[in-house]
Chain A
Amino acid sequence: MAIESIKYAAPDTETKLETKVFPRPGQHTSGIIDWLTTIDHKKIGIMYGLTALFFLLVGGVEALLIRSQLWSHNMEILTNRQYNQMFTMHGTTMVFLVIMPLSAAFFNYLMPLQIGARDVAFPRMNALSLWCFIAGGLTLNLSWFFTGGSPAIGWFGYAPLTDTRFAEVIGDMGPDFWIFSLQILGLASLLASFNFITTIINMRAPGMTMMRLPVFTWMTLIVSFLIILAFPAITIALVELMFDRTYGTNFFDFLEGGKPHLWQHLFWIFGHPEVYILILPAMGIVSEVIPVFSRKPLFGYGLVIFSGAIIGFMGFAVWSHHMFTTGMGVVATSAFSILTMLIAIPTGVKIFNWIGTMWGGRIRFDTPMLFALGFITMFMIGGFTGIMHSSVPIDAQHQDSYFVVAHFHYVLIGGSLFGLFCGFYFWLPKMSGRMLSEKLGKFVFTLMFIGFNLTFFPMHYLGMIGQPRRTHSYNEGHGFETWNQAATIGSVILGIGVAIGILQFVNAFFNKKLKPAGKNPWDARTLEWTLSSPVKDYNFARNPIIKARDQAWENNYGPKENHSEKEPLDDHGVHMPDRSWYPLVTGVGLFGLILGMLFHASIDSSGELVRDYTFAIAGGAIAIFGIIMWSLEGPAGYHLFPKENEE
């Protein structure tokens, strides 16, 4: 429905309709209105990043509370319900509000620059993705303030934990908040992915063939396909759960013939591709960083991409390894076990490619490279324990123990988060135009590396000796105390490291004393490094004509025939689409719609259930109004006339 028009709308006819309601901000808008109405992929990327870093702090505080509770036996910092709420919110926040949007921040900022485009294919839809993401983050965290507090169902929301009849608190709204926030976050991811797919397939600069695309852009494409094919499963599962909770259907109600087991399947059909949605962007970042700091092209470019695609494809065929202990039968269990073992092959190929890239290279140990090396080593440990879990008997032994917690934190922090921090240290000079302090960066890396290993390595051992996960305390005499205390100390060190890192990133945008970055501070390889830092609004003054992979490197060091050329300057200048209020209006409408759905039911004085949809309908009407006005206003726009090399 919300389809952008690419034609240059004649402003005199098409903008008449909307001027009365929300006048379109003009070319020279600045300040808060600029950020609220922007459709520039770079600004949207920065907003994604900053919001996600804020949620990283929120999720981190939740993690620290969990660790404090586990400091010693029978601690009472959190009650068992509060503990359940903490790990639910920690998991949901870190997956949906931190790692995914941080990846989306890089997708948004970098991908159009890497393919030589002026923006994504549908800039206003991109803005709507951002507002939906923020609405989802707000909705999830609003749950703290209403009946029952935040959800206590785990980030997986297994039935029958979500059944209203088993709620610990009467009228518990936590799971409802969880359902609706995940729905709108899913919408945000879907819209963004449609956009990225179209952009990468259709808006490459002349000469930028698919096999010249930077690896990070390739991973963006693969992740976008994973999102559009995996999210529908969770969306429908959540719709069914919403019907169960709100309208009394029987999808997951075992008393009426529903199967809680189905929820697990639907959740993990989404949930396992989700794991690759979280890790592939980090792999893309690392594949960009290692060649730069080894001063060598990526070893086996084609194989790295092919492995990424295979991982994405096979990611849809291994979901049941999360459910080995549910009793699926020998055949299904064996099949999923074998496929899970197979998926280690493309992952291993990538690791050998990174090592091959460094082999014989002139390696510089700048902060981004340290994080990339941290990524490889930590991710390998997480990968090895992952292969252990693919074996069914071992999995049965590890199920629900701290060993599993250790495994996926090695993959998600040691892997994803280290990869994303690597990306920040690498590309922030491009985004902010200023160099970050190497000294502070290395200090952050040291804190994070030590803190992370001190927190999660002992969990392998704790799991092996039997400490169960998702359990709010343990008794004396199991010998759990020592390593739990080590883990808690480690988590504080990790938290301090992450917090300093975030301050450093934010500081880069405001601190004028930092050294200016220039176009290509790292002597890097891909197209975005041919542009000034920060990048101009229009990205490219003239469309580049691509002659080789690693174009920035070829321009500096390659043979003459590999140097990129530029299309002649257009007499009409660079067309820039106008800013628009309607993505924000539509986002606010959708936020109103889900709030209206959350609070539509109440019990009147006679104990009858009353449903009042006024607020939900009002929200929906605002959203529809936004979409209609959006399609009528068209992209419109103005023209800029940059000089020859002003980019």
Chain B
Amino acid sequence: MSDASAHALDHHEPVTSTGIPNKKVLMWAFLGSDCMFFGTLISTHLIYRKISATVGGNFLDIRDIFDIELTSFSTFILLASSLFMALAVSAIHKGNLNSTRWMLFGTIIFGSIFLACQVYEFTHFVHGKENKHGDLEHQLTLSAYAGKSEQVGEDAQLTPHEDKAHVFGSTFYVLTGTHGTHVAIGVFWLIGWFVYSFTGKMSTADAMDIECCGLYWHFVDIVWIIIFPVVYLMEYAF
């Protein structure tokens, strides 16, 4: 904290009442709010995860769908990306621009690998797995049909859809998808800094901005640390 406020004075930033730069307070307030976003999504998932499995007499064992090895790998990658991010923030504070640039690049690459794993995972969950007879089974889709907008009025089908329709799919994809969107926004933000680092304008004056970016990145990481046990591992335990 002390070096951040001293730094603020160097660059003619107004002295704030708390000594904490405005952007940092803004970022913390945003992260507090974002906790509630994910809290709502995770609660929804927890409330629904057991009901969903038996709708329409069609039991769905989530363990047949999940690919826990892949997800463990991508979890590790995302956690490792936080190390790069921390090193990037440390480097910009020390004024080491070259190191900052390549640490940012490392974060971007690891974030992208995580996203790629998620795309792969989603694609395979929707597609399902082939069984001995060559039929597809264990599919998990967002919804039973493409869109309800066509099914209104007298044509409305007031019966449950027989297969594939599971609330688990709805909560799973919307929760992990929202997290993925956060990661993607983070990656684009980091790419912005990476490109900016080649313009020659980057200096320690940007340390605060990169630190805020880092706060965001670590937060998204921490959310995944909660999602991974609660959404994935718990299916193997309870």
Q: Which residues of the partner chain B approach A166 to less than 8 Å between Cβ atoms?
A: 156
Q: Which residues of the partner chain A approach B159 to less than 8 Å between Cβ atoms?
A: 255
Contact B160 A256, beta carbon cutoff 8 Å: yes
Partner of B30 from the list A194, A247, A607 (CB cut-off 8 Å) is A194
For chain A, the count of residues having a C-beta within 8 Å of the partner chain is 62
Closest to A231 in B: B33
For chain B, the count of residues having a C-beta within 8 Å of the partner chain is 64
Closest to A164 in B: B148
Closest to B35 in A: A232
> Which of A13, A208, A232, A245 lies at the interface centre, i.e. has the most chain B CB atoms within 10 A of its CB?
A232
Kindly state whether residue A79 has any CB partner on chain B within 8 Å: no
Chain A-chain B contacts (Cβ-Cβ < 8 Å), number: 178
Contact B148 A248, beta carbon cutoff 8 Å: yes
Q: Which residues of the partner chain A approach B143 to less than 8 Å between Cβ atoms?
A: 243, 247-250
Contact B152 A164, beta carbon cutoff 8 Å: yes
**How distant is the Cα of A469 from the Cα of B210 in the complex, in angstroms?**
54
**How distant is the Cα of A158 from the Cα of B158 in the complex, in angstroms?**
19
**How distant is the Cα of A556 from the Cα of B58 in the complex, in angstroms?**
78
Q: Which residues of the partner chain B approach A628 to less than 8 Å between Cβ atoms?
A: 192
* B 141-163 to A, binary, CB cutoff 8 A, 1 in contact else 0: 01111111111110011111100
B140 to nearest A CB, angstroms?
Answer: 12
Q: Which residues of the partner chain B approach A603 to less than 8 Å between Cβ atoms?
A: 150
* B 1-44 to A, binary, CB cutoff 8 A, 1 in contact else 0: 00000000001111011101111011101101110110111001
**How distant is the Cα of A607 from the Cα of B151 in the complex, in angstroms?**
11
Partner of B153 from the list A13, A170, A611 (CB cut-off 8 Å) is A170
Kindly state whether residue A246 has any CB partner on chain B within 8 Å: yes
Kindly state whether residue A167 has any CB partner on chain B within 8 Å: yes
- Residues of chain B in range 39-77 having any CB-CB distance to chain A below 8 Å: 39-41, 44, 47-48, 51-52, 55
Contact B205 A240, beta carbon cutoff 8 Å: no
Kindly state whether residue B87 has any CB partner on chain A within 8 Å: no
Q: Which residues of the partner chain B approach A121 to less than 8 Å between Cβ atoms?
A: 22, 25-26
B89 to nearest A CB, angstroms?
Answer: 15
Contact A229 B32, beta carbon cutoff 8 Å: yes
Q: Which residues of the partner chain A approach B17 to less than 8 Å between Cβ atoms?
A: 201-204, 208
- Residues of chain B in range 122-178 having any CB-CB distance to chain A below 8 Å: 142-153, 156-161, 165-167, 169-171, 173-174, 178
**How distant is the Cα of A50 from the Cα of B23 in the complex, in angstroms?**
30
Q: Which residues of the partner chain B approach A247 to less than 8 Å between Cβ atoms?
A: 142-143, 146-147
Q: Beyond A121-B22, A236-B37, A248-B142: 12 further Cβ-contacts under 8 Å?
A: A7-B12, A165-B151, A194-B29, A202-B25, A228-B29, A228-B30, A235-B37, A243-B142, A255-B160, A256-B161, A256-B165, A262-B44
A: which residues have CB within 8 A of B? 1, 3-8, 13, 121-122, 164-167, 170-172, 190, 193-195, 197-198, 201-204, 208, 228-233, 235-237, 239-240, 243-251, 255-259, 262, 266, 269, 601, 603, 607, 609, 611, 628
19 A–B pairs (Cβ distance < 8 Å), ordered by A: A3-B23, A6-B22, A6-B23, A166-B156, A193-B29, A202-B22, A204-B17, A228-B30, A228-B32, A243-B143, A243-B170, A244-B148, A246-B149, A247-B142, A248-B142, A250-B166, A251-B167, A258-B167, A259-B48
- Name the 5 nearest CB pairs between A and B, nearest first: A248-B143, A232-B36, A249-B170, A165-B156, A236-B40
